[in-house]
Structure 1
Amino acid sequence: RQAQLTFARSLISDEAFCDRLARLQRAIGQVTCKDVNLDEKLLHSLSKTTNGGREAPIMYIPLYENRTFSMSIFIIRRGERIPLHDHPGMFGVLKVLHGSGTISSYSAVRPPSGDELEAERHPDVAVSSDSAPCCLTPTERNFHEIRALDGPLAFLDILAPPYDGKVRDCHYYSATAIADGVAVRLRRMEPPGDFWCENATYRGPPIAPHLSSAE
């Protein structure tokens, strides 16, 4: 409900939007594995999807999507990562449900030139199930990479508006330091060959089925 209220297309002040976003972060911060029925067997199960005999590094569980926002769970296997990617014109709220990891994020400092853009690298953030939700906006920390550490990392992900292959497609990047280690050049690239997802079915309670009327 709060995600729909926060990101619904309505004319509200910046102050009101920030208040709604803060409320959403507080609500998401209370979500646990139990709330979404994410059990240990799924967290530690071996993937049946293979690529040359290798297990899928990421498990993707879609929960809900309409034209306003999408909600899903990602599980990153130990030592794996979701490579550096963007969220064009989107807001995002991420809450770790299980495990620990690091998030490397970047903010663009000027519009892209072709397949390259200059960005500022933010300090890496260590995250765990005890951490407050992380937030990205269309202009702040909109590029990030998420890596699992000593075990599987599961997180709840809300994106608004959702990805759209026509106008909000996901792009992947490589990062090269320019001078002082803060300024970097991001170059668009094809998705890394060692990155792919296995889909799994959501087994938790229904996610606000009444929101379908808001589409």
Structure 2
Amino acid sequence: MMPGDRDMSSIVQRIARQALVTFRSPPRAGEDAGKSFLENLGKLRSLMTEVRAADLRLAPPPPYLHLHQQLHHGAAPPVTYMHICETDQFSMGVFLLKSGASIPLHDHPGMHGVLKVMYGKVRISCFDRPQPPAPVGALRRSVLRSTGEFTEECGPCVLSPDRDNLHQIDAVDGPTAFMDILAPPYDPDDGRDCHYYRVLPDAEASPAGRQQQQRGEEEEEKDAWLMEIPQPPGFWCGAEPYPGPEVSL
């Protein structure tokens, strides 16, 4: 073990332990968050704000590799995932996006999440979970809460079962990586499968939807109409080994 490894692993270990405490009894969809949960979530956000790529032994790929990946984009997955740890309460890992890659608009049913950029830049568009649920192919009304760009100097992006639960993540100006905590983890057998959505342009939405969107354009938060779709054919996720310090829980 190198002299600095204990210091580097401590932040990763502390994040995992704080996530375990934070998401032991999280508020469910439609429930207000209690004081204890909010305090623990604040501690987790503070730790996630501190973590850097070096703590996970990550580094951006060299420029010549960027060009090779762009020339042979179809030969490798646009997104890969590094698994760090998982419990019944949460999963933690790192997503790596190649230059120009996107994770399409998708949901996190009944889940909380915290996302922190490790290197590069991402653009994240966040929507509230549509209510009420509707069959595949039906229109669902939602709210576009925010669209912003995040780098390693930014604080984490946080989602809850109700607010900002859907998001699209785009790599901007090169490859990027972000650390991701989801609580509880995806589990199709327990009703937490991942669904993908398309934002309908005004012309495809109902007249009522168009009127709502026109009113929303004057505000920061905008009404939106979404349609659930199959996983986009150009998107799939591969796996890479996690090179950082081991986490024990």
Shift of 1:54: 3.5
1:119 is aligned, of 142, 156, 163, to 142
> C-alpha distance in 1, partners of 2:238/2:26?
36
**Which residue number in structure 2 is paired with residue 59 of structure 1?**
80
Residues 69 and 162 of structure 1 are in contact (CA less than 8 Å); yes or no, is this contact kept in structure 2? yes
Relative to structure 1, the CA distance from residue 55 to residue 81 in structure 2 (aligned partners, 3 Å threshold; closer, same or farther) is same
Q: Equivalent residues in 2 for 1:45-194 (5 A)?
A: 53-108=74-129, 110-115=131-136, 116=138, 117-166=140-189, 167-177=191-201, 178-179=209-210, 180=213, 182-194=222-234
**Which residue number in structure 1 is paired with residue 22 of structure 2?**
6
Relative to structure 1, the CA distance from residue 173 to residue 42 in structure 2 (aligned partners, 3 Å threshold; closer, same or farther) is farther
Alpha-carbon deviations, 1:117-172, whole Å to 9, x = none?
21011231111111100100000000000001101110000000000021200011
Shift of 1:109: 5.3
> C-alpha distance in 1, partners of 2:51/2:83?
16
Partner AA of 2:19 in structure 1: A
> Between the two proteins, what is the percent identity of the paired residues?
37
Shift of 1:185: 1.6
TM-score by length of 1: 0.88
> C-alpha distance in 1, partners of 2:18/2:62?
28
Aligned length: 205
Poorly superposed stretches of 4+, deviation over 3 Å: 40-47
Partner AA of 1:91 in structure 2: H
> C-alpha distance in 2, partners of 1:123/1:41?
29
> C-alpha distance in 2, partners of 1:10/1:111?
22
TM-score by length of 2: 0.77
Partner AA of 1:94 in structure 2: L
**Which residue number in structure 1 is paired with residue 242 of structure 2?**
202
Shift of 1:56: 1.5
Shift of 1:108: 3.2
> C-alpha distance in 2, partners of 1:122/1:42?
35
**Which residue number in structure 2 is paired with residue 29 of structure 1?**
49
SS in 2 for 1:163: coil
Residues 129 and 161 of structure 2 are in contact (CA less than 8 Å); yes or no, is this contact kept in structure 1? no
**Which residue number in structure 1 is paired with residue 7 of structure 2?**
none
Which of the pair has more CA radius of gyration? 2
Instruction: Give the strand-richer structure, 1 or 2.
Output: 1
Relative to structure 1, the CA distance from residue 165 to residue 10 in structure 2 (aligned partners, 3 Å threshold; closer, same or farther) is closer
Q: Which runs of 5+ in 2 are unaligned?
A: 1-16, 28-32, 202-208
